[in-house]
Structure 1
Amino acid sequence: MGDQVGQAVEGTLYYLPYAEFQRVRASTLPPEKRAAIFADMCRLNALYMIARAGSGHIGSSFSSLDIISWLLLEELDEDDIFFSSKGHDAPGYYAALIGMGRIDFDLIHKLRRIDGLPGHPDIGTPGVVTNTGSLGMGVSKAKGMIFANRLAKRPGRAWVMTGDGELQEGQFWESLVSSVNFGMNEITVIVDHNKLQSDTFVRNVSDLGDLEAKFRAFGWRVERCDGNDVGALAVTLASLKGELRPKVIVADTVKGKGVSFMEHTSLDSDVAMYRFHSGAPDADSYRLATQEIISRLQQRVKDAGQEGLSFETIEREGTSPPPASAQRLITAYTAALLEQAEKHPHLVALDADLILDTGLIPFRERFPQRFFECGIAEQDMVSVAGGMALKGLLPVVHSFACFLSARPNEQIYNNATELTKIIYVGSLAGVVPGGPGHSHQAVRDISVLAAIPGMTLVEPSCEAEVGPLLDWCINEAPGSCYLRLVSLPWDVPYRLPPGGRLVAGQGVTLVAGSDAVVITYGPVLLSAAVEAVRKLAEEDGLSVKVINLPWLNEVDAGWLRSETLGYKWVLSVDNHYLKGGQGDAIARVMAGFEGPGSRLFSLGVAGVPPSGTNPEVLNHVGLDVRALVRSIRTAVGIRKHSKGEMAP
């Protein structure tokens, strides 16, 4: 389209081509004006990327783009490194790298695609020097790089962006002390102090207090400025030249900066639950935001005496909402937790800044005195739960599975040694959603929790199984439990048999079959398995039994023996790494069977899963319907000739 943009058209996505970035970068504009225009250009393209991908982080990208733009355009030397420790601003950083010509421009169309740009930074992307997304690691990574530079006698500075919510992670503060001890003047930390974390204001969760005084107490040189004013940032950076200590800039920013109704200072912003932290904008919000950015950009280039910008457009692809029949396990969990809380006045819920994603808002509203927001501090949260349990409470602890299982693993083990009872609930479990990438794909949580003494791990397959499993964990389990929840709405092609009762270590048959057995769990894999065996029955005449086994680390030997007796082939399928998943538990039990038995084939994730759409990721790791069909055929010795006829 031309340089004159009227009203943004609904259903149309707008972006700036690379030639326009080249023109602005090559202009003779004052550096501050050029950087401000460049930052807004990146805002428009980042918004385009998120809207096209259907997910991403707008608020965090927009708050940090003025800082990133100035650093890339004016500050960083060839030997310097820059990365964002928070990782949520990946779309903004990608847009800036694309605008600098450091990433192939065509990748602007492939955010969160398997052949494109991952949801959180990964070193496979040009310009990305370390993986981020798991918070708190940034300064430690920078220290390691500086140590390596010094040993190799290489020059170079390290610039690390952090979020202010990220400062709740203990590792961040651990990393500060030795930075001073080793005189790491090469490091500059910039805190994107936008005052908001995932759910709400930082001050409402874990007030940071006097940040400047805290950093100074660690021996760092500290400055503060308006992080959305590139001129103020430039002056602040200039004042740090020649400083022999590590440096930190507290950059006051606005989350969602650049779009009035996305800014947290706006009267239209939902300050109780900030709406633009993650996810794609709806069509109307996208149109209004695009119009605002484009209008401001055109005015800025006009005021600077430059020719108006030319934009490109594509039509927005329609996205189909999940069918009404899709299973929503988080919603079912909310109802089940409220029911248990009514029965158990000593039940309390703890959250790690994910109250919306973990379904706890209704609990907080009904039982405000029994809800505890612990912030982005999983180790602290789990040990708090341990103290509660020692004093007679029944803590139910919530976070994403990738964080809850790994970061506080030592604390979970410590709680287990005290023989108290705690329920850990990990949502966003498994390899999908694939968009966020490996930092958020929980595919090792079973292995890191399964060996903890007294811990039972379970995963429901559908809404109907959530309540009974939570009831078992609370009222029947002898020790602590881990409830693993798939967060995505998922349409399942099966129903649990009526009248069944949960028995620890035992599953239920969803599809009868006589030739082979598939054992798996959860809505994602059970759905794929049921569809796969139907396809095998139609195309190959193969009769395969599908068993739902919701117990992830306990298998009843007698039950498994009876269910697999007479079957030559048994396949276990894990929404998890092969090592340490449910398949290993099944293998240990089957190894004790006497006499001729079934042959076990284990399927699961073999390598680090990629970022991409859910179908792309499931296909890549071999866990979609087509892949399961191929795997079952291979296991039972059936192969297809090129013309499609069967061969033994």
Structure 2
Amino acid sequence: MQPFIIERSLIAQLPAKTDTDLQKIAQVHRINCLAGLLSAHHGWLGACFSSMELLTCIYHHHISDPLQLITTRASLHLSKGHAAMAQYAILAALGCFETERLLTYKQFGGLPAHCDRNIPGIDSDSGSLGQGLSKAIGNAISNNAAGRRSPVFAIIGDGELQEGQVFESLLTLKKLRPWGCIPIIDRNFLQSDSQTADIKDADDWSAVFTGIGLRVIEVNGHVVGEINKAICTLLESEEPGIIIAHTNKGGGCKLTSMQPDTPRRQGIWHGRIPDHDEYCAIVDELVKQIDCPAIRDSWAKCCEKLKVDNSSAEVGATADKPVENNIRISTGAAFGQALIELGEADPDIYVLDADLEKSCRLTEVAAAFGKRYLEIGISEQDMCSIAAGLGLTGKIAVVNTYASFYKRSIDQIFACATEKVPVIFAGHYAGIDYFTDGKSHQSTNDIGLMRAIGEIDIYEPIDADNTKEILCHIIESMKAEIKKSGRCRPAYVRLHRTPGDNFYADPFVADEPVVFTSGSEIIAENLLFTSGPHMLETACSASEILAEEGIPLDLAAIVHFSDNKKQLKDLLGAAKRVFVLEDHRRETGLGSFIATIGKLSPVCIGIREYTQSALNLGEMLAHHKLNAETVSEVVRKVVNCSHHK
């Protein structure tokens, strides 16, 4: 379905002088924002629609030309990165890039999932929460020092207030008092698909901010006039202040607007993309509110085409689809299933998560564990230290968040390692098979970070069965160590969200790799080390390609980053050529681990750079040259070299 976009030429025909005019302009931006979300069939409609009037007011009243240097104009730091598509829609309308580019959202080389400075008009990156206000304060301090009276805005989600850095930055704002720094809280009372109060929330944020020493102004966040009046009031003062903008998540449209009392897990428009009928209803409502004949006519023409496209799609949908017999399950999902089984029999296991229950496939786990399931909210550092406290009393704490988000908790994980407490850090959505949400969410340096801590066991299962075996092993080992000495090493488990093959490998044994030979009973001259389900799948395909050419390539899948039994050293000693394939930065990951064991330096095939979004895994793998063809080419080239180096 080709989405409806209002071209810049039509937008230019609309008056944009009064706040009433801008209310209609905001609906234009919603339509174009929705086009981008629909083209990707992915994104965060709720956050985008919630913030639309805030963004419209800031840009049309205060940043009319975002292409100017940040040092010559007002600036905006969109801390709540889920609203990126709303920001892109406005920037396109202001001429930063063509409106057609909105249809490239989350495509490789297109508009990234979260704000990125590589996109014209964007002032700072987003994705990892809690950082926007700190950047805004620094931006404002620089402006003040240069004598520039340029406002600096930071839009912060109300769920984001759970992130510790936000509180730190609010205290800094009060202490340093930089003129023109205006934080705006998008207060819709929802985060993800639940109420902020269901996760964790303050009873009265106005009282909290007042207690810090900030002037608080509360407005209707969907009324441009109220928003701008509050902004101007703070700009006329030398006192630090903050705006609480009361909004509805998904607001601006009756169908998508969600009330603050939305029941737990029922906020469907957090990440849902409308179907054909819903899309047409949404746009129809917005077009009527804009009340522009040219836009109405353009939408009518688009509707006729959409009807034809939808009829064709329905005809195609009636065709028989092949039945998928090979059931694939991700290691992340398998981890949750294993937790349920183990938790039923062991009351000493606690599970913690950081507002990612649904993403980490933990909803059933939450129900099964009851009070032993602790929803900590967007507070990774807090969560890791709570887990340490549980571990100090003999409980086993299983911490869950995206692997990438452990970066902000390295010191807390270090403390767990030095205190030797039974904490399992489950790093969900690891590697680049989390292809949709870009560099802030892809974890391609987690193994290196965990290895740098030391005194922590690192695992990466290759399939669902292996995941359960590893979790059982970790818990049994921790209990045995605690019984013996009262202490144990924590563990990190690297998990993937995209389903992979079941390799039907031998049962897991600590310190031993899973070896796949190319046909002979002994290790051939060429040995490739890899880890994780998707890299192993790629390695197997490469081995098959090379086997047809008479080039044997044996595989060793590392599921436990340890070599206490010296089996890896023996394997390396038997091989003449050693390769490593990993979906991790080459500097610090599996290749670095293997290089510390053997005498031969491995030829490393891995991640060389941080990248943005893609809409499928194959595209991401091809960009990083992590497909079977490239692996085969590298092995072929090295085999044909006269000198290994």
Alpha carbons of 1:51 and 1:632: their partners in 2 closer, same or farther (altered >3 Å)? farther
Q: Aligned equivalents of 2:49 and 2:639: distance in 1?
A: 53
TM-score by length of 2: 0.88
Residue 630 of structure 1 deviates from its aligned partner by 2.7
1:325 aligned onto 2:327: yes
Gaps of 5+ in 1: 1-10, 592-597, 640-648
- Residue 466 of structure 2 aligns with an amino acid whose one-letter code is E
Structure 1 residue 360: Cα displacement: 1.7
- Using the TM superposition, give the Cα deviation of residue 33 of structure 1 relative to its aligned residue in structure 2, in angstroms: 3.0
Cα contact 1:510–1:546 (8 A) shared by 2: yes
Query: Cα distance 1:307–1:382, how it changes in 2: closer, same or farther (>3 A)?
Result: closer
2:511 to 491, 494, 504: 504
1:154-203, Cα deviation, whole Å (9 max, x unpaired): 44210110100110111111112232332212101111111111242111
Please tell me whether residue 466 in structure 1 is matched to residue 472 in structure 2. Answer: no
Please report how far the alpha carbon of residue 611 of structure 1 lies from its aligned counterpart in structure 2 after TM superposition: 2.2
Paired residue secondary structure (1:192):
strand
Q: Give the corresponding residue for 1:19.
A: 9
- 8 Å CA contact 2:580, 2:605 repeated in 1: yes
Cross-structure match for 2:257:
263
Post-superposition offset of 1:626:
2.9
- The 1-side partners of 2:441 and 2:33 are apart by 21
The whole-number CA distance in structure 2 between the counterparts of 1:113 and 1:512 is 40
Q: What is the CA–CA distance in structure 1 between the aligned matches of 2:457 and 2:585, rounded to whole Å? A: 18
Q: Does the 8 A contact of 1:200 with 1:274 survive in 2?
A: yes
Give the equivalent residue in structure 1 for 2:76: 82
1:589 aligns to what SS in structure 2?
coil
- Name the counterpart of 1:274: 267
Task: State the partner residue of 1:643.
Answer: none
Aligned equivalents of 2:30 and 2:264: distance in 1?
Answer: 22
Number of equivalenced pairs: 608
Return closer, same or farther for 1:637/1:263 CA change in 2, 3 Å cut-off: farther
Question: Which residue in 2 is equivalent to 1:38?
Answer: 25
Amino acid of the residue matched to residue 626 of structure 1? Answer: E
SS of the equivalent of 1:363 reads helix
The 5-angstrom pairing of residues 510-589 of structure 1 reads 511-512=518-519, 514-538=524-548, 540-551=549-560, 553-556=561-564, 558-589=566-597
Q: Distance in 2 between matches of 1:242 and 1:321?
A: 66
Q: CA shift at 1:576, angstroms?
A: 1.1
Supply the distance in 2 between the matched residues of 1:245 and 1:396 (Cα, whole angstroms).
Answer: 44
Task: State the Cα distance separating 1:610 from its structure 2 match.
Answer: 2.7
- The question of 1:290 aligning with 2:279 is answered yes
Note the C-alpha offset of 1:542.
Answer: 1.8
- Superposition map of 1:196-207 within 5 A: 196-207=190-201
Shift of 1:143: 1.6
- C-alpha displacement at 1:270, in angstroms? 5.8
Residue deviations 1:332-362, cap 9 Å, x none?
A: 2122111111232111111100111122211
Root mean square deviation of aligned Cα: 2.6
Give how far 1:370 is off: 0.7
Q: CA deviation at 1:512?
A: 4.3
Please say which of residues 313-322 and 447-456 is displaced more in the overlay: 313-322
Helix, strand or coil: the match of 2:12? helix
Q: 1:55 aligns with which of 23, 26, 42?
A: 42
State whether structure 2 residue 335 is matched by structure 1 residue 308: no
After TM superposition, the structure 1 = structure 2 runs for residues 72-111 of structure 1, keeping only pairs within 5 Å, are 72-76=59-63, 79-111=73-105
Q: Secondary structure at the match of 1:431?
A: coil
Aligned match of 1:122: 116
Per-residue deviation, 1:235: 3.1
Identify the structure with the greater helix proportion. 2
- Long gaps (5+) in structure 2: 66-72, 479-487
Determine the C-alpha separation between the residues in 2 that align with 1:264 and 1:394. 38
For 1:134 and 1:157, how far apart are their aligned partners in 2?
23
Matches within 5 A, 1:129-148: 129-148=123-142
- Going from structure 1 to structure 2, the CA distance change for 1:330 and 1:154 (only over 3 Å counts) comes to same
**Contact 1:264 1:271 survives alignment (8 Å):** no
Which of 345, 348, 352 pairs up with 1:346?
348
Equivalent residues of 1:568, 1:599 under 8 A apart: no
Q: Who is 1:602 aligned against?
A: 604
Q: 1:238 to 1:288 in 2, by over 3 A?
A: farther
Hey, what's the Cα distance between the residues in 1 that align with 2:641 and 2:276?
A: 53
Task: State how far apart, in whole Å, the 2-side matches of 1:610 and 1:118 are.
Answer: 6
- Give the secondary-structure state (helix, strand or coil) at the position aligned to 2:4: strand
Quote the offset at 1:212 in angstroms: 1.3
Q: CA deviation at 1:275?
A: 2.2
Residue 424 of structure 1 aligns to a residue in which SS? strand
Q: Is the 8 A contact 1:199 1:354 kept in 2?
A: no
Report sequence identity in percent.
27
Q: Which moved more, 1:182-191 or 1:557-566?
A: 557-566
For residue 266 of structure 1, report the CA deviation from its aligned partner: 9.3
The alpha-carbon deviation at position 368 of structure 1 amounts to 0.7
Match of 1:5?
none
Q: What SS is found at the alignment partner of 1:235? A: helix
Secondary structure in structure 2 of the residue aligned to 1:434: coil
Q: Which residue is equivalent to 2:433?
A: 432
Task: Give me the whole-angstrom Cα distance separating, in 1, the residues matched to 2:322 and 2:35.
Answer: 20
Q: For the residues of structure 2 that align with 1:384 and 1:107, how far apart are their CA atoms?
A: 44
- Name 2:483's counterpart in structure 1: none
